[in-house]
Protein backbone atom coordinates (compact mmCIF):
# COMPACT_ATOMS: atom_id res chain seq x y z
CA UNK A 1 0.00 0.00 0.00
CA UNK A 2 1.44 3.41 -0.97
CA UNK A 3 1.79 6.31 1.46
CA UNK A 4 -1.14 8.31 0.07
CA UNK A 5 -3.47 5.31 0.41
CA UNK A 6 -2.39 4.91 4.04
CA UNK A 7 -3.10 8.60 4.68
CA UNK A 8 -6.56 8.32 3.13
CA UNK A 9 -7.43 5.15 5.02
CA UNK A 10 -6.28 6.33 8.44
CA UNK A 11 -7.08 10.06 8.06
CA UNK A 12 -3.46 11.18 8.25
CA UNK A 13 -3.04 14.84 7.25
CA UNK A 14 0.32 16.22 6.09
CA UNK A 15 2.99 16.01 3.43
CA UNK A 16 6.21 16.73 5.34
CA UNK A 17 9.15 14.45 4.47
CA UNK A 18 9.61 13.40 8.11
CA UNK A 19 5.97 12.30 8.38
CA UNK A 20 6.10 10.45 5.05
CA UNK A 21 9.26 8.62 6.11
CA UNK A 22 7.68 7.53 9.43
CA UNK A 23 4.62 6.21 7.56
CA UNK A 24 6.83 4.40 5.08
CA UNK A 25 8.72 2.61 7.86
CA UNK A 26 5.43 1.69 9.58
CA UNK A 27 4.08 0.21 6.35
CA UNK A 28 7.26 -1.78 5.67
CA UNK A 29 7.48 -3.27 9.16
CA UNK A 30 3.75 -4.03 9.53
CA UNK A 31 3.86 -7.44 7.83
CA UNK A 32 6.62 -8.68 10.14
CA UNK A 33 6.53 -9.61 13.83
CA UNK A 34 9.38 -7.26 14.71
CA UNK A 35 9.08 -5.18 17.86
CA UNK A 36 8.65 -1.47 17.13
CA UNK A 37 9.52 1.51 19.32
CA UNK A 38 7.63 4.68 18.40
CA UNK A 39 9.27 7.84 19.76
CA UNK A 40 7.89 11.36 19.74
CA UNK A 41 6.60 14.18 21.89
CA UNK A 42 3.27 14.01 23.65
CA UNK A 43 0.38 14.77 21.31
CA UNK A 44 2.02 13.85 17.98
CA UNK A 45 -0.20 10.79 17.42
CA UNK A 46 2.00 7.84 18.34
CA UNK A 47 -0.99 5.58 19.00
CA UNK A 48 -2.23 6.17 15.44
CA UNK A 49 1.00 4.61 14.17
CA UNK A 50 0.45 1.52 16.33
CA UNK A 51 -3.05 1.14 14.84
CA UNK A 52 -1.61 1.48 11.32
CA UNK A 53 1.00 -1.22 11.96
CA UNK A 54 -1.56 -3.63 13.45
CA UNK A 55 -4.18 -2.98 10.75
CA UNK A 56 -1.70 -3.64 7.94
CA UNK A 57 -0.30 -6.80 9.56
CA UNK A 58 -1.34 -10.45 9.35
CA UNK A 59 -2.70 -10.04 12.91
CA UNK A 60 -5.30 -7.47 11.87
CA UNK A 61 -8.24 -9.81 12.62
CA UNK A 62 -6.87 -10.65 16.08
CA UNK A 63 -7.15 -8.52 19.25
CA UNK A 64 -5.41 -5.17 19.65
CA UNK A 65 -5.11 -3.42 23.00
CA UNK A 66 -3.45 -0.14 24.04
CA UNK A 67 -2.04 0.04 27.57
CA UNK A 68 -0.82 3.27 29.20
CA UNK A 69 2.01 2.12 31.46
CA UNK A 70 2.14 5.48 33.22
CA UNK A 71 -1.50 5.26 34.31
CA UNK A 72 -1.21 1.90 36.09
CA UNK A 73 0.14 1.87 39.68
CA UNK A 74 3.37 -0.04 40.21
CA UNK A 75 1.70 -2.51 42.56
CA UNK A 76 -0.85 -3.66 39.99
CA UNK A 77 0.88 -3.38 36.60
CA UNK A 78 2.27 -6.94 36.76
CA UNK A 79 -1.22 -8.26 37.42
CA UNK A 80 -2.67 -6.18 34.56
CA UNK A 81 -0.11 -7.38 32.04
CA UNK A 82 0.50 -10.98 33.12
CA UNK A 83 -2.51 -11.87 35.29
CA UNK A 84 -2.61 -13.28 38.82
CA UNK A 85 -3.77 -16.30 40.79
CA UNK A 86 -6.46 -16.27 43.45
CA UNK A 87 -5.06 -15.15 46.80
CA UNK A 88 -1.74 -14.02 45.35
CA UNK A 89 -2.14 -10.62 47.04
CA UNK A 90 -4.67 -8.71 49.10
CA UNK A 91 -7.81 -8.24 47.02
CA UNK A 92 -7.09 -11.08 44.60
CA UNK A 93 -10.38 -12.86 45.28
CA UNK A 94 -10.33 -14.61 41.89
CA UNK A 95 -7.77 -15.64 39.31
CA UNK A 96 -7.44 -13.19 36.45
CA UNK A 97 -5.96 -13.31 32.97
CA UNK A 98 -3.54 -10.57 31.98
CA UNK A 99 -3.33 -8.71 28.68
CA UNK A 100 -0.57 -10.95 27.32
CA UNK A 101 -2.90 -13.89 27.79
CA UNK A 102 -6.11 -12.35 26.47
CA UNK A 103 -4.46 -10.72 23.44
CA UNK A 104 -2.70 -13.94 22.40
CA UNK A 105 -2.22 -13.86 18.63
CA UNK A 106 -2.75 -10.11 18.45
CA UNK A 107 -0.89 -6.87 19.18
CA UNK A 108 -0.32 -5.00 22.43
CA UNK A 109 0.62 -1.31 22.38
CA UNK A 110 2.57 -0.22 25.47
CA UNK A 111 2.37 3.55 25.67
CA UNK A 112 4.68 5.53 27.98
CA UNK A 113 6.98 2.52 28.26
CA UNK A 114 9.52 4.69 30.08
CA UNK A 115 7.19 4.74 33.11
CA UNK A 116 7.26 0.94 33.48
CA UNK A 117 8.84 -0.27 36.78
CA UNK A 118 12.16 -2.11 36.53
CA UNK A 119 10.68 -5.36 37.87
CA UNK A 120 8.01 -5.35 35.19
CA UNK A 121 10.65 -4.55 32.58
CA UNK A 122 12.40 -7.83 33.43
CA UNK A 123 9.13 -9.74 32.95
CA UNK A 124 8.50 -7.98 29.63
CA UNK A 125 12.01 -8.81 28.42
CA UNK A 126 11.33 -12.51 29.03
CA UNK A 127 8.13 -12.31 26.98
CA UNK A 128 9.96 -10.64 24.10
CA UNK A 129 12.82 -13.13 24.12
CA UNK A 130 11.04 -16.42 24.82
CA UNK A 131 7.30 -15.72 24.56
CA UNK A 132 6.91 -16.96 28.15
CA UNK A 133 5.36 -15.35 31.22
CA UNK A 134 4.21 -16.34 34.71
CA UNK A 135 1.09 -15.06 36.44
CA UNK A 136 1.57 -13.24 39.73
CA UNK A 137 1.43 -15.83 42.53
CA UNK A 138 1.92 -18.78 40.17
CA UNK A 139 4.86 -20.98 39.25
CA UNK A 140 3.40 -22.24 35.99
CA UNK A 141 5.10 -20.95 32.84
CA UNK A 142 2.70 -19.97 30.07
CA UNK A 143 3.31 -19.20 26.42
CA UNK A 144 1.95 -16.30 24.41
CA UNK A 145 2.23 -15.05 20.84
CA UNK A 146 1.85 -11.29 21.09
CA UNK A 147 3.45 -8.59 19.01
CA UNK A 148 4.67 -5.66 21.10
CA UNK A 149 4.64 -2.06 19.90
CA UNK A 150 5.97 0.42 22.44
CA UNK A 151 5.91 4.20 22.52
CA UNK A 152 7.66 6.86 24.58
CA UNK A 153 8.05 10.61 24.81
CA UNK A 154 11.21 10.19 26.91
CA UNK A 155 14.84 9.69 25.94
CA UNK A 156 15.10 6.01 26.85
CA UNK A 157 18.80 5.87 26.03
CA UNK A 158 19.45 8.48 28.74
CA UNK A 159 17.18 6.51 31.07
CA UNK A 160 19.37 3.43 30.56
CA UNK A 161 22.45 5.44 31.56
CA UNK A 162 20.67 6.67 34.70
CA UNK A 163 19.53 3.19 35.68
CA UNK A 164 15.84 4.00 35.13
CA UNK A 165 15.41 1.67 32.17
CA UNK A 166 16.98 -1.69 31.35
CA UNK A 167 19.54 -1.41 28.59
CA UNK A 168 18.85 -4.92 27.25
CA UNK A 169 15.12 -4.15 27.07
CA UNK A 170 15.79 -0.88 25.27
CA UNK A 171 17.73 -2.57 22.49
CA UNK A 172 15.15 -5.38 22.34
CA UNK A 173 12.28 -2.90 21.96
CA UNK A 174 13.99 -0.66 19.44
CA UNK A 175 14.44 -3.36 16.80
CA UNK A 176 12.69 -0.96 14.44
CA UNK A 177 12.55 2.65 15.71
CA UNK A 178 10.01 5.09 14.28
CA UNK A 179 10.35 8.79 15.03
CA UNK A 180 7.10 10.75 14.75
CA UNK A 181 7.95 14.42 14.06
CA UNK A 182 6.63 17.18 16.27
CA UNK A 183 4.23 19.72 14.78
CA UNK A 184 6.80 22.54 14.80
CA UNK A 185 9.07 20.31 12.67
CA UNK A 186 6.42 20.08 9.97
CA UNK A 187 5.17 23.71 9.67
CA UNK A 188 3.86 23.16 6.12
CA UNK A 189 1.26 20.77 7.55
CA UNK A 190 -0.16 23.15 10.19
CA UNK A 191 -2.62 25.05 7.89
CA UNK A 192 -3.78 21.72 6.37
CA UNK A 193 -4.48 20.25 9.78
CA UNK A 194 -6.27 23.38 10.97
CA UNK A 195 -8.50 23.41 7.88
CA UNK A 196 -9.37 19.74 8.38
CA UNK A 197 -10.21 20.24 12.05
CA UNK A 198 -12.29 23.37 11.35
CA UNK A 199 -14.34 21.50 8.72
CA UNK A 200 -14.92 18.59 11.11
CA UNK A 201 -16.06 20.88 13.93
CA UNK A 202 -18.27 22.89 11.57
CA UNK A 203 -20.09 19.66 10.66
CA UNK A 204 -20.40 18.69 14.30
CA UNK A 205 -21.77 22.07 15.44
CA UNK A 206 -23.74 22.80 12.25
CA UNK A 207 -21.89 26.02 11.44
CA UNK A 208 -19.78 27.47 8.63
CA UNK A 209 -16.10 26.45 8.75
CA UNK A 210 -13.76 29.20 9.92
CA UNK A 211 -10.91 30.35 7.69
CA UNK A 212 -7.65 32.19 8.39
CA UNK A 213 -6.33 35.22 6.56
CA UNK A 214 -2.68 35.26 5.46
CA UNK A 215 -1.39 36.99 8.59
CA UNK A 216 -3.29 34.58 10.82
CA UNK A 217 -1.74 31.64 8.95
CA UNK A 218 1.72 33.07 9.63
CA UNK A 219 0.89 33.36 13.34
CA UNK A 220 -0.38 29.79 13.36
CA UNK A 221 2.76 28.47 11.66
CA UNK A 222 5.17 30.40 13.91
CA UNK A 223 3.52 29.31 17.17
CA UNK A 224 5.69 26.60 18.86
CA UNK A 225 2.82 24.11 19.52
CA UNK A 226 4.21 22.40 22.63
CA UNK A 227 1.06 20.26 22.73
CA UNK A 228 1.49 19.31 19.06
CA UNK A 229 -1.52 18.05 17.05
CA UNK A 230 -3.64 17.63 20.18
CA UNK A 231 -3.20 21.30 21.06
CA UNK A 232 -3.89 22.42 17.48
CA UNK A 233 -7.14 20.45 17.47
CA UNK A 234 -8.25 22.06 20.74
CA UNK A 235 -7.48 25.55 19.40
CA UNK A 236 -9.39 24.81 16.18
CA UNK A 237 -12.41 23.72 18.21
CA UNK A 238 -12.32 26.87 20.35
CA UNK A 239 -12.11 29.12 17.31
CA UNK A 240 -14.90 27.22 15.53
CA UNK A 241 -17.23 27.84 18.46
CA UNK A 242 -16.15 31.25 19.77
CA UNK A 243 -14.84 33.26 16.78
CA UNK A 244 -17.01 36.29 16.03
CA UNK A 245 -16.01 36.34 12.35
CA UNK A 246 -15.64 33.28 10.12
CA UNK A 247 -12.60 34.88 8.48
CA UNK A 248 -10.20 34.93 11.42
CA UNK A 249 -7.57 37.69 11.56
CA UNK A 250 -4.20 37.44 13.29
CA UNK A 251 -5.41 39.58 16.22
CA UNK A 252 -8.46 37.38 16.64
CA UNK A 253 -6.34 34.25 16.48
CA UNK A 254 -3.92 35.52 19.12
CA UNK A 255 -6.80 35.68 21.60
CA UNK A 256 -7.01 31.89 21.50
CA UNK A 257 -3.29 31.11 21.62
CA UNK A 258 -1.68 30.88 25.07
CA UNK A 259 0.86 33.62 25.70
CA UNK A 260 4.02 31.60 26.17
CA UNK A 261 6.03 34.71 27.03
CA UNK A 262 4.03 35.44 30.17
CA UNK A 263 4.15 33.61 33.45
CA UNK A 264 0.89 34.23 35.27
CA UNK A 265 2.14 32.72 38.52
CA UNK A 266 3.91 34.80 41.19
CA UNK A 267 7.69 34.82 40.81
CA UNK A 268 10.59 36.41 42.65
CA UNK A 269 11.52 39.89 41.56
CA UNK A 270 15.26 39.33 41.83
CA UNK A 271 16.50 37.90 38.49
CA UNK A 272 19.24 35.96 40.25
CA UNK A 273 16.61 34.00 42.18
CA UNK A 274 13.90 34.01 39.53
CA UNK A 275 13.50 30.37 38.41
CA UNK A 276 11.90 31.33 35.11
CA UNK A 277 14.63 33.84 34.25
CA UNK A 278 17.22 31.17 34.92
CA UNK A 279 15.58 28.77 32.49
CA UNK A 280 13.87 26.63 35.13
CA UNK A 281 10.10 26.41 35.48
CA UNK A 282 8.44 24.96 38.53
CA UNK A 283 6.12 22.00 38.07
CA UNK A 284 3.23 23.59 39.97
CA UNK A 285 2.16 26.38 42.28
CA UNK A 286 3.06 24.33 45.37
CA UNK A 287 6.74 24.36 44.44
CA UNK A 288 6.64 28.14 43.91
CA UNK A 289 5.17 28.63 47.38
CA UNK A 290 7.82 26.36 48.87
CA UNK A 291 10.53 28.44 47.20
CA UNK A 292 9.04 31.71 48.45
CA UNK A 293 8.79 30.38 52.01
CA UNK A 294 12.37 29.12 51.99
CA UNK A 295 13.70 32.43 50.65
CA UNK A 296 11.74 34.34 53.30
CA UNK A 297 13.25 32.09 55.98
CA UNK A 298 16.71 32.70 54.54
CA UNK A 299 16.17 36.49 54.69
CA UNK A 300 15.01 36.29 58.31
CA UNK A 301 18.04 34.15 59.20
CA UNK A 302 20.43 36.68 57.66
CA UNK A 303 18.68 39.52 59.50
CA UNK A 304 19.09 37.69 62.82
CA UNK A 305 22.76 37.13 62.12
CA UNK A 306 23.15 40.86 61.47
CA UNK A 307 21.55 41.62 64.87
CA UNK A 308 23.88 39.18 66.59
CA UNK A 309 26.91 40.72 64.90
CA UNK A 310 25.89 44.21 66.01
CA UNK A 311 25.25 43.10 69.58
CA UNK A 312 28.55 41.24 69.87
CA UNK A 313 30.56 44.29 68.78
CA UNK A 314 30.33 47.15 71.31
CA UNK A 315 31.97 49.50 68.85
CA UNK A 316 29.18 49.14 66.35
CA UNK A 317 28.35 52.14 64.26
CA UNK A 318 25.72 54.74 65.09
CA UNK A 319 23.99 53.81 61.85
CA UNK A 320 23.48 50.22 62.99
CA UNK A 321 22.33 51.31 66.44
CA UNK A 322 19.82 53.64 64.83
CA UNK A 323 18.60 50.73 62.76
CA UNK A 324 18.05 48.67 65.89
CA UNK A 325 16.12 51.50 67.54
CA UNK A 326 13.99 51.92 64.44
CA UNK A 327 13.20 48.20 64.23
CA UNK A 328 12.34 48.14 67.91
CA UNK A 329 10.02 51.11 67.56
CA UNK A 330 8.21 49.29 64.77
CA UNK A 331 8.01 46.11 66.92
CA UNK A 332 10.12 44.19 64.41
CA UNK A 333 12.65 42.97 66.97
CA UNK A 334 12.15 39.59 68.72
CA UNK A 335 11.09 39.53 72.36
CA UNK A 336 14.67 38.73 73.45
CA UNK A 337 15.66 42.25 72.40
CA UNK A 338 12.97 43.92 74.49
CA UNK A 339 15.23 46.37 76.36
CA UNK A 340 15.89 49.78 74.82
CA UNK A 341 18.98 50.27 72.75
CA UNK A 342 21.05 53.00 74.41
CA UNK A 343 23.32 55.24 72.40
CA UNK A 344 26.06 56.90 74.41
CA UNK A 345 29.49 58.40 73.90
CA UNK A 346 31.04 54.93 73.94
CA UNK A 347 28.45 53.85 71.38
CA UNK A 348 27.66 50.67 73.31
CA UNK A 349 24.53 48.63 72.98
CA UNK A 350 22.91 47.78 76.32
CA UNK A 351 20.63 44.81 76.08
CA UNK A 352 19.21 42.12 78.36
CA UNK A 353 18.58 38.57 77.18
CA UNK A 354 16.12 36.06 78.51
CA UNK A 355 18.87 33.56 79.34
CA UNK A 356 22.06 35.64 78.90
CA UNK A 357 23.11 33.37 76.05
CA UNK A 358 23.19 35.18 72.77
CA UNK A 359 24.30 32.19 70.76
CA UNK A 360 20.89 30.56 70.90
CA UNK A 361 19.75 33.04 68.23
CA UNK A 362 22.19 31.75 65.67
CA UNK A 363 20.73 29.57 62.93
CA UNK A 364 22.30 26.37 61.70
CA UNK A 365 22.64 26.43 57.91
CA UNK A 366 20.39 23.95 56.18
CA UNK A 367 19.72 22.99 52.60
CA UNK A 368 17.27 25.30 50.85
CA UNK A 369 17.16 23.23 47.67
CA UNK A 370 13.50 22.75 46.77
CA UNK A 371 14.05 19.20 45.52
CA UNK A 372 15.64 18.26 48.87
CA UNK A 373 12.70 19.76 50.72
CA UNK A 374 10.16 17.99 48.50
CA UNK A 375 11.97 14.68 49.00
CA UNK A 376 12.02 15.29 52.77
CA UNK A 377 8.26 16.01 52.82
CA UNK A 378 7.52 12.85 50.83
CA UNK A 379 9.65 10.72 53.16
CA UNK A 380 7.93 12.23 56.22
CA UNK A 381 4.48 11.58 54.74
CA UNK A 382 5.34 7.96 53.94
CA UNK A 383 6.73 7.45 57.43
CA UNK A 384 3.67 9.09 58.98
CA UNK A 385 1.30 6.82 57.08
CA UNK A 386 3.50 3.71 57.42
CA UNK A 387 4.26 3.45 53.71
CA UNK A 388 0.64 3.74 52.53
CA UNK A 389 0.97 5.71 49.29
CA UNK A 390 -2.68 6.63 48.97
CA UNK A 391 -2.81 8.22 52.43
CA UNK A 392 0.58 9.88 51.96
CA UNK A 393 -0.45 11.36 48.60
CA UNK A 394 -3.69 12.67 50.15
CA UNK A 395 -1.74 14.27 52.98
CA UNK A 396 0.69 15.89 50.53
CA UNK A 397 -2.13 17.20 48.35
CA UNK A 398 -0.99 15.35 45.21
CA UNK A 399 -2.28 12.41 43.21
CA UNK A 400 -1.08 8.88 43.89
CA UNK A 401 0.34 8.75 40.38
CA UNK A 402 2.36 11.95 40.97
CA UNK A 403 3.65 10.50 44.24
CA UNK A 404 4.70 7.33 42.44
CA UNK A 405 6.57 9.41 39.83
CA UNK A 406 8.30 11.42 42.60
CA UNK A 407 9.36 8.22 44.39
CA UNK A 408 11.14 7.08 41.24
CA UNK A 409 12.53 10.54 40.50
CA UNK A 410 14.12 10.91 43.94
CA UNK A 411 14.93 7.18 44.28
CA UNK A 412 13.04 6.97 47.57
CA UNK A 413 13.05 3.47 49.06
CA UNK A 414 9.87 2.58 50.86
Distances in Å between the Cα of 306 and the Cα atoms of 81, 293, 299, 363, 373 are 61, 20, 11, 12, 26
Looking at the structure, tell me whether residues 61 and 46 fall in a common domain: yes
CATH number of the domain bearing residue 82? 3.40.50.300
Looking at the structure, tell me whether residues 28 and 174 fall in a common domain: yes
- For 198, phi and psi rounded to 5 degrees? -65, -35
Number of domains the chain contains = 4
CATH number of the domain bearing residue 379? 1.10.10
Q: Cα 369–373–377 angle (5° rounding)?
A: 170
Say if 97 falls within a structural domain. yes
Q: What is the domain extent for residue 403?
A: 369-409
Looking at the structure, tell me whether residues 192 and 78 fall in a common domain: no
Instruction: With H, G, I as helix, E, B as strand and everything else as coil, classify residue 107.
Output: strand
Say if 225 falls within a structural domain. yes
> Per DSSP, which regions of 71-152 are E strands?
107-111, 132-134, 141-143, 147-152
Say if 274 falls within a structural domain. no
**Cα–Cα dist 21/183, whole Å:** 15
Looking at the structure, tell me whether residues 312 and 389 fall in a common domain: no
Over its length of 414 residues, how does the chain's per-residue pLDDT go in tens digits? Answer: 789 999 999 999 999 999 999 999 999 999 999 999 999 999 999 999 999 999 999 999 999 999 999 999 988 999 999 999 998 888 888 999 999 999 999 999 999 999 999 999 999 999 999 999 999 999 999 999 999 999 999 999 999 999 999 999 999 999 999 999 999 999 999 999 999 999 999 999 999 999 999 999 999 999 999 999 999 999 999 999 999 889 999 999 999 998 764 344 444 444 444 444 444 444 445 555 556 666 676 666 766 666 666 666 655 545 555 555 655 554 555 544 444 444 444 444 444 444 444 444 444 455 556 777 788 888 888 888 888 888 888 888 788 778 887 887 878 876
CATH number of the domain bearing residue 213? 1.10.8.60
pTM of the shown model: 0.62
Residue 292: CB atoms within 10 Å: 13
Q: Which of these, 61, 77, 57, 58, lies nearest to 69 by C-alpha position?
A: 77
Residue 219: CB atoms within 10 Å: 18
Amino acid sequence: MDIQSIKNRFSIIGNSPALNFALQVAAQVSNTDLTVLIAGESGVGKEAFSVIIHSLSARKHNPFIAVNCGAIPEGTIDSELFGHEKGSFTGAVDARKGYFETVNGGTIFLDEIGEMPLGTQARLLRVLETGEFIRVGSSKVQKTDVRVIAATNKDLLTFTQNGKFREDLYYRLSTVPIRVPSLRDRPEDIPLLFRRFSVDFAERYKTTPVQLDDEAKDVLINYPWPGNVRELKNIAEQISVLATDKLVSSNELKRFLPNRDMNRLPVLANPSTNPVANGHEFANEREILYKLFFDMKKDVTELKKMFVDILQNPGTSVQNQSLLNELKSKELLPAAYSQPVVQGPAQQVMIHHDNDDIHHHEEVDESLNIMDKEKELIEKALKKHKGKRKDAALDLGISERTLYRKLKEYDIKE
